[in-house]
Amino acid sequence: MKNKPYVVGLAGGSGSGKTVFLNSFLKHFNQHQVCLISQDDYYKKVSTEMTADENRHHNFDLPECIEIEQLETDIYNLLAHQTIYKQQYTFNNPLAKPKLLEIKPAPILIIEGLFIYHYPNINPLINYRIFIDAPDDIALERRLKRDLNERGYSAQDVMYKWNNHVMPSFNKYLLPHRESCHQIIQNSSNQIEHIVAHTQKIASDLKAQLKIT
């Protein structure tokens, strides 16, 4: 594909710090230099009438929960320099009104998500693979803080999903790809300076390599 955007992959387990890394990384570019497509926005719709128990037992941490064909199509369109439109995922919250995302092509395309290295039609498209890693206990602490405070889950629900969905999926679909990544970032610290230093170095190297000013 002529003048294909340079593709950066970003993956890591729940609570590893992908969002913090991504927010810091994007600050090193303007809106015309980089665009982002997130696997989270491609979750298949599920019933909004789930009971709390049904929600607890529904496993969202599986590759087949993603509208993979649509995700692939949108990635290919961005690589072909076409703008795409996608509804933002609201984490199955019936009270949240999803935004319509307009994603314009750019010289750098970031693909972010749990399973991006697992999908055979997406992984080969990625030029530079980043893996955000964190010890299990720290990742769980971050997940508990997020889900209790931001999503209204009970501690029991969070622990059930962690033990039965999150960790089994991480070990099966994500961990096997860690050693094939170009950059493995250990994020055991909650100090933002640690992440900023990594994002600044990677962004600077990419700008030099791609001659982006």
Q: Which pTM does this prediction carry?
A: 0.90
CATH class of 6-210: alpha beta
pLDDT tops 80 at residue 6: yes
pLDDT in tens, 106-138: 999 999 999 999 999 999 999 999 999 999 999
pLDDT in tens, 17-74: 999 999 999 999 999 999 999 999 999 887 666 676 776 678 989 999 999 999 999 9
Give the whole-angstrom CA distance, residue 85 versus residue 94. Answer: 21
pLDDT tops 60 at residue 103: yes
pLDDT band at 13 (very low <50, low <70, confident <90, very high): very high
Considering the chain, what percentage of its residues have pLDDT values greater than 70? 92
Mean pLDDT of 189-211: 92
* Helix (H), strand (E) at residue 70: helix 68-79
pLDDT tops 70 at residue 174: yes
pLDDT of residue 63: 96
In 3D, which of 160, 118, 126 has the Cα closest to residue 143?
A: 160
pLDDT of residue 57: 78
* Helix (H), strand (E) at residue 109: strand 108-112
pLDDT band at 172 (very low <50, low <70, confident <90, very high): very high
Count of residues in the chain: 213
pLDDT of residue 130: 98
Looking at per-residue pLDDT, the higher value among 182 and 54 belongs to: 182
DSSP, res 126: -
- CA dihedral (134, 28, 198, 158) in degrees, to 10, reads -10
